[in-house]
Amino acid sequence: MTATRQQAEAAADQVPGSKLSARLYEPFLWLGEKTGFRRWRQKVVSGVSGSVLELGAGTGLNLAHYPAGLDRLVLVEPDFHKAGILATKPAPAGVEPEIVRAPGEMLPFEDDTFDTVVETLVLCTVADPEATAAEIRRVLKPDGRFLFMEHVRSEGPRLGPLQDRMEKTWMRIADGCHCNRRTVPMLEANGFEVEVTAEQDKFPMPPVARPIVSGIARPIAGSPPAPERGSAPDGDAAT
């Protein structure tokens, strides 16, 4: 069954977050934004079309990069404090974004709802990446696209093992972020065909949070076994 808005919001309340970390988020990323991330965001987000869901929209650093005239823009963010900051940001031209508090593992939308799902720096943080991938796939239309930008585990002989050792420490520094997730293979194992469009090792981020990859993932019909299909009770699901 698709979760109701109320169920998703109750689950969002369990996702770690605080007023302080929400306030420190943009200062923490300031240098990275100025020296590279902003350009990557622009490239990734400008590719969206139709009816769009952004997962883990945070404080809204992607908002300025949306093209005008989308059919719909839903900004999903579980953290109450970040969602509050998000609500203060200017909307893209020609669309009134809907802000929904939900975790990626429990999206309160019917199957096959969106043309595009987009996320930046979120699959590194979600509690259950596989469940989140399944939810993204479920809410995407069969010909929809999932656009992403993530830092991932290095395959380098030194950095990769260092990231494994640093995982717990980095999680404490960076608000629950895992520095050693193999996100592209995870998506491929969970029903997506993935095209990596950019990858960069040298980036103004601490080495544990490199490399950065961006790409387009498309659902593969019938693989893996589709999650249980269902509908939310009338009036509860966001449609």
CA distance linking residue 7 with residue 163, whole number of Å: 35
Q: What is the CA radius of gyration of the chain?
A: 17
- Report CA dihedral (209, 212, 216, 222) to the nearest 10 degrees: -40
Q: Does 106 bind ligand SAM (CB under 6 A)?
A: no
209 is a contact residue toward ligand SAM (CB under 6 A): no
CB of 157 to ligand SAM, least distance (A): 27
Asked if 136 interacts with ligand SAM (CB under 6 A), we say no
Calpha distance 175→22 (Å, rounded): 10
- Could you tell me the two tokens for 193? 């065909």
Contact between 17 and ligand SAM per CB under 6 A: yes
Note whether 79 binds ligand SAM by CB under 6 A: yes
Residues 174-193 that bind ligand SAM (CB under 6 A): 177
At its nearest, how many Å lie between ligand SAM and the CB of residue 77? Answer: 6
Q: Please tell me what DSSP assigns to residue 56.
A: S
Residue nearest to ligand SAM (CB): 58
At a CB cut-off of 8 Å and minimum separation 6, what does 134 contact?
Answer: 190, 191, 227
Binding interface with ligand SAM (CB under 6 A): 15, 17, 55-58, 61, 77-79, 82, 103-105, 120-122, 125-127, 177
